[in-house]
Structure 1
Amino acid sequence: MSTPTPTYQAIAQRKQAQLEAQIPAEWRLPASLIPAGMLSVADSITNAKEYQRVNVMNIPRTCEILTGRELHITEKYDVQGLLRVISQKQFTSEEVVRAFCKRAAIAQQLTRCLTEPLFTRALTRARALDAHLAQTNRPIGPLHGLPISIKDNFHIPGVDSTTGLAALAFQPATSTSPLVALLESLGAIIIAKTNIPQTLGALDSCNHLFGRVLNPLSRALTAGGSTGGEGALLALRGSMVGFGTDIGGSIRIPAMCQGIYGFKPSVGRVPFGGQDAGHIAGNSRIALQAVAGPLARSVADLGAVMAEIVPRAELFGEDCIPGVWGGKFPSLKLPESQPRNVTIGVVRGDGLVKPLPPVARALDEVAEALRRTPGVEVVEIPVPAALAKCQGVAGRLMGADGGGLMMDVLESTGEPLIPWLQGRTKRGKEMTVQQLGKLQAQRSQIEREMMQMWNLGGVERRVDAIIHPLAPHPVPELDRSNAVGYTSSFVLLDYPAGALPVRAFREEDLELGKPMDAPVLGSWDKANRELWDEKTVDRRVYLDSPLSIQVVTPKQNDYELFRAMELIDRAIKVQVDAKPAASKL
């Protein structure tokens, strides 16, 4: 007698078939171009160690599915440049969208980065925009024709928002997330929804419905989570800008893993509401409040979309505040007129986990590049004692609802937890009002203590931004991410924070045969060192992976974060350009 297929597996088979059917036959890669070891969806979850260091970044250029014109469209423009040629009618929105849809389809076949290909919908929308432009000679909005992608949990009517849970498949949304409405009002065209971890609560984007997102730079390394699909899609140039969410680092960590740029804004800058699947309604408003934000391939592209979103966000999201995209960040263009230098602080850790040597080295290199930048003052800031308290409070607030509803959803189809969540996720108890109030009081005390970091003990703000590691380790192997405090702390504090790539991991970063000899700080630090201990990892797995840093500014200083990222990114590129060619990314 055959064993009945578990409910979650049957649902997953149907969902995978639905996804496959949305990729046209002429956009499918020949089997010869898909690297060996492309495990089945199920095997990608349980047999992750079989993935090898394979880079697939060049396949979209060489597979001959994209025409020369489509390669030009998808590779030669930033956001502003592409918007300009569309408005000037050098390209129609339809041909631009088709080029990116084809590239997204290729990316899906190489990395499993999509959950919902929206190609037909996107092309219909593009034709409507073209007709409007032809008739009126005016674009629909400032992002007219821009191909973008969004994380799976945002709602589009008629499309699933599963959050990687089988029980939520084939239950299409009936409402529109405010961010989706805002982006489409600006003229942007959503071409796909992207893959995420089961429950959105993991640092490796892996689920039983769609399988594991693979990092296009190296299949042996994680694509990050929970916005991992966006990271992989953008790295392969299958979208111009992607939108994700961040409560523990879910925008910044995938940006780090793929060597692209991510922007976690302050609460209220980008509409977040309309995505409570798997949680009690309103949970994010009473515990730790997640935010939505963009990922892109340049600081300029982040700024191009934030400049249009921030001033309009309050018109679409009930969780948004009035905003202006502009500020008082000191200008480096006219140094003779500056009242003072730009001051960048260096915070080297969180007091709980010591950065591994290549991470510390990358931060050092950025600090040195900034010291050589005219008009910039770099100051060393001792790790604030309050920073070590953030991870514990943030973690408890994330679990304020006890996870009961999420576990109910999983158990309804017999769906097991993915490997990264096993041992980390279980059914708990909802916090009482008193318990939640106590945690929020601790949070307030931490916020008060952290304010001193920005004025260095004085009465005026002296530090414009800080640089800090994104994680205490390089891009880790599959299912080995840990130490989320480097990113979750700044969600607790509501500081805007961005991810900046620095350079690739090099041979000299390996330090083979040289162990870390500093005292172990605790259990988190011990776990982190396993990613560097040559008894538990072959350090060569990190070769050519991206090393990145995090840029952070005070609460609600989102435009200032953008300007600081511009400045620091420019300093990094000057440093890279000064190196011998063999050392460049």
Structure 2
Amino acid sequence: MASPEPPYVAVAQRKQAELAASIPSQWKLPANLIPPGMLTPAESITEGSKLYGRVNVMNIPRTCGLLTSKELEITEQYDVRELVLAMTENKFKAKEVVEAFCKRAAISHQLTRCLTEPLFDRALSRAQQLDDHLQRTGSPIGPLHGLPVSVKDSFFVKGVDSSIGFSALAFKPASENAPLIDLLESLGAIVIAKTNVPQTLATLDSCNHLFGRTLNPLNRQWTAGGSTGGEGVLVAMRGTMVGFGTDIGGSVRIPAMCQGIYSFKPSDGRVPYGGQESGQIPGKGRMGIQAVAGPLARSVADLGAVMAEIVPRAELFDEGCIPGYWPAPSVPVALAQPRHFTIGILKTDGLVTPLPPIARVLDEVSQLLRRTPGVHVVDIPTPPAFSKCQAAAGRLMGIDDGSSVMDIIESMGESLMPWHQGGRFGRGKALTVVQLAALQAQRADIEREMLKMWTLGISRERKVDAIICPVAPHPVPELDRYNAVGYTSSFVLLDYPAGTVPVRKFAESDLDIGREMDEPVLGSWDKANRKLWDEKSTDRRVYLESPLSVQVVTPKQRDYELFQAMEIIDRAVQGTQAEARTTSKL
């Protein structure tokens, strides 16, 4: 006699049917345009790594015929400020802008499973309200009037689930908005969808039993990243103008790396974080390590456009936010007098040696910056305390016994996702108050030692404005193979703002076929990382055309300086790429 299905199966089927029904029939792709191998949500978890081939679906929204020429113009030809201006000057109605992005989001979902809660009907209704107000008064509603945005599934939206991939939390809609949602709506932005996350919000592959696995649109063999993976995909596919996620171990920076877009992890208190479902015990973040919320976008300018409106107002919306200042946009940095900016190059955390292509792209950016007027480049010796950051961050993430999340999983008969298996997640033993205090004291010691990175250890005067380092010690990996998170989690531990800037694609010249790394193995994390480059266990050609990015970091609360540094670095990179494109046409 066959054993009965676990309870989560029926809930997942009901939830997926609800999601499918929220997409209008006229927005649905013909079956022949969906590449073969688009597995069911359940199959995507267990069979995905075996059956997904190298498929790029980025161009399908543009060529499928569902989007009109005007909708393609709206979703492809404007940055944030230009699009808002077009609506406030009546070139476009907010409703037609929102509809274009909702339709493109629906198409993107059918190719990648990036959405959890499409909010299309309420978004279109809100857009009509904005149009009516503008026509009646002649004034927009806020500085982001009509801007289509999306948010990670964890954020509460009144009347909508925040299931975060758990069947036990499905069909339990929120009773109120998260502070970030209220702030965005007060600015005139319109939330069009919520997006997929990993089971437990604690892996680097956005995969769960309720919605299945979110796929990377650049190549379905690669991870889309996590835990803000659905946002990364939706932003990359132009299904939203700006996405908002959270970051405790790298969860806005890693998906940006995986999709070749931009992200901004602010300091604690800059962007409203409250009003979220985590599955954890309430208040855990105030005792352990403090996650933050931040945006993902397709340009540094778009990150700056939303941060400029959020940061000065955040303290009025969330009890965890602090007073903030963000200069109003005036003269573009590209046209302004060059500011002397010192950028440090931090090549390794001393724990996991970056693989050759990661070291190479860091060197390339370093050389570009050395040729940039107004920029002084220095090499940063790896602080001894850096190698301690990952372990401290990991322990602070796991200060409880894990029973809250495990109870949710087990209550519906769910199994752990592939990345969690093998002892990576489960029930443990909570720290005592004495143990937690000792761990926080260790954190303070690390923070104190890391301050020397900004003074080069030679004075009490800050010598370095920003540093660049890897986002990860490896390229975008295959499904369930993401390795060390120390390069991202460390800066949450330290509360340093950090962002992701894409540089270029992985090329044939990066393969180094027949050449292995000869540096000494530093430990278990380093050993695991090298398996992603070892030709005996990995076909390096899987990385071809994957995005290569760098991480930009500034000292605590220096968020606007992070934006400035990202602009400088991105301009240097984009200038070189433009020159390369021109040369290739000659």
Common fold by TM > 0.5: yes
Deviation at 1:3, TM superposition (A): 3.6
Deviation at 1:47, TM superposition (A): 0.7
Report what 1:60 is aligned to: 61
Counting matched residue pairs gives 579
| CA offset digits 1:404-457 (Å, max 9, x no partner) | 111011111111111011121010122111111011000000000000110112
Deviation at 1:398, TM superposition (A): 0.2
Q: How does 1:1-150 map to 2 (within 5 A)?
A: 1-49=1-49, 50-150=51-151
**Equivalent pair of 2:156/2:277 in contact (CA under 8 Å):** no
**Equivalent pair of 1:369/1:572 in contact (CA under 8 Å):** yes
Q: How does 1:470-485 map to 2 (within 5 A)?
A: 470-485=471-486
Deviation at 1:577, TM superposition (A): 2.2
- Match of 1:579, SS state, is helix
**Equivalent pair of 2:202/2:227 in contact (CA under 8 Å):** yes
Report what 2:355 is aligned to: 356
Structure 2: which amino acid aligns with 1:142?
A: P
Report what 1:270 is aligned to: 271
Report what 1:378 is aligned to: 377
Cα gap change, 1:43 to 1:581, in 2 (>3 Å) = farther
| CA offset digits 1:276-309 (Å, max 9, x no partner) | 4311111111101000000000000000000000
- The answer to whether 1:511 aligns with 2:509 is no
Deviation at 1:206, TM superposition (A): 0.3
Report what 1:439 is aligned to: 439
Report what 2:165 is aligned to: 164
In 2, Cα distance between equivalents of 1:583 and 1:16: 46
- Match of 2:419, SS state, is coil
Report what 1:455 is aligned to: 455
The TM-score with structure 2 as length reference comes to: 0.97
- The answer to whether 1:402 aligns with 2:401 is yes
- Match of 2:426, SS state, is coil
Mind listing any 5+ residue stretches in structure 1 that lack a counterpart? none
Q: How does 1:229-244 map to 2 (within 5 A)?
A: 229-244=230-245
In 2, Cα distance between equivalents of 1:31 and 1:531: 35
Report what 2:521 is aligned to: 520
Mind listing any 5+ residue stretches in structure 2 that lack a counterpart? none
Report what 1:537 is aligned to: 538
In 1, Cα distance between equivalents of 2:484 and 2:359: 15
In 2, Cα distance between equivalents of 1:313 and 1:527: 41
Where has structure 1 moved over 6 Å in runs of 4 or more? none
In 1, Cα distance between equivalents of 2:428 and 2:102: 42
In 1, Cα distance between equivalents of 2:334 and 2:155: 38
Structure 2: which amino acid aligns with 1:272?
A: Y
**Equivalent pair of 1:178/1:316 in contact (CA under 8 Å):** yes
- The answer to whether 1:490 aligns with 2:513 is no
Q: How does 1:309-348 map to 2 (within 5 A)?
A: 309-326=310-327, 341-348=340-347
Cα gap change, 1:518 to 1:582, in 2 (>3 Å) = farther
Structure 2: which amino acid aligns with 1:129?
A: L
| CA offset digits 1:392-412 (Å, max 9, x no partner) | 000000001221111011111
In 2, Cα distance between equivalents of 1:302 and 1:177: 20
- Match of 2:381, SS state, is coil
**Equivalent pair of 1:332/1:375 in contact (CA under 8 Å):** no
In 1, Cα distance between equivalents of 2:465 and 2:526: 29
Structure 2: which amino acid aligns with 1:152?
A: D
- Match of 2:250, SS state, is coil
Q: Percent identity?
A: 68
Deviation at 1:476, TM superposition (A): 0.3
**Equivalent pair of 2:164/2:277 in contact (CA under 8 Å):** no
**Equivalent pair of 1:251/1:264 in contact (CA under 8 Å):** yes
**Equivalent pair of 2:497/2:553 in contact (CA under 8 Å):** yes
- Match of 2:418, SS state, is coil
In 2, Cα distance between equivalents of 1:178 and 1:525: 40
**Equivalent pair of 1:404/1:429 in contact (CA under 8 Å):** no
**Equivalent pair of 2:470/2:549 in contact (CA under 8 Å):** yes
| CA offset digits 1:105-161 (Å, max 9, x no partner) | 000000000000000010000000100000000011001100000000000111000
Structure 2: which amino acid aligns with 1:403?
A: G
Q: How does 1:390-429 map to 2 (within 5 A)?
A: 390-422=389-421, 423-429=423-429
Structure 2: which amino acid aligns with 1:373?
A: T
The TM-score with structure 1 as length reference comes to: 0.97
Report what 1:210 is aligned to: 211
Structure 1: which amino acid aligns with 2:388?
A: K
- Match of 1:548, SS state, is strand
Structure 2: which amino acid aligns with 1:577?
A: A
Q: How does 1:155-194 map to 2 (within 5 A)?
A: 155-194=156-195
Deviation at 1:48, TM superposition (A): 1.8
**Equivalent pair of 2:402/2:428 in contact (CA under 8 Å):** yes
- Match of 1:420, SS state, is helix
Structure 1: which amino acid aligns with 2:40?
A: S
Structure 2: which amino acid aligns with 1:48?
A: G
| CA offset digits 1:174-194 (Å, max 9, x no partner) | 121000110011000000000
Structure 2: which amino acid aligns with 1:394?
A: A
> 263-272 or 450-459: which moved more?
450-459
In 2, Cα distance between equivalents of 1:189 and 1:318: 23
- Match of 2:475, SS state, is coil
Cα gap change, 1:583 to 1:353, in 2 (>3 Å) = farther
In 2, Cα distance between equivalents of 1:578 and 1:30: 40
Structure 2: which amino acid aligns with 1:483?
A: A
In 2, Cα distance between equivalents of 1:71 and 1:195: 25
Structure 2: which amino acid aligns with 1:455?
A: T
In 2, Cα distance between equivalents of 1:73 and 1:168: 36
In 2, Cα distance between equivalents of 1:264 and 1:402: 27
Report what 2:301 is aligned to: 300
Deviation at 1:66, TM superposition (A): 0.5
Report what 1:387 is aligned to: 386
Root-mean-square deviation (CA, aligned residues, Å) is 1.5
**Equivalent pair of 1:195/1:230 in contact (CA under 8 Å):** yes
- Match of 1:303, SS state, is helix
Deviation at 1:581, TM superposition (A): 5.6
| CA offset digits 1:535-568 (Å, max 9, x no partner) | 1111111111100000000000000000100010
| CA offset digits 1:229-269 (Å, max 9, x no partner) | 00111111000000000000000000000000000000000
Structure 1: which amino acid aligns with 2:204?
A: L
**Equivalent pair of 2:197/2:228 in contact (CA under 8 Å):** yes
In 2, Cα distance between equivalents of 1:334 and 1:55: 39
**Equivalent pair of 2:402/2:427 in contact (CA under 8 Å):** yes
Structure 1: which amino acid aligns with 2:472?
A: A
Deviation at 1:579, TM superposition (A): 2.4
**Equivalent pair of 1:276/1:282 in contact (CA under 8 Å):** no
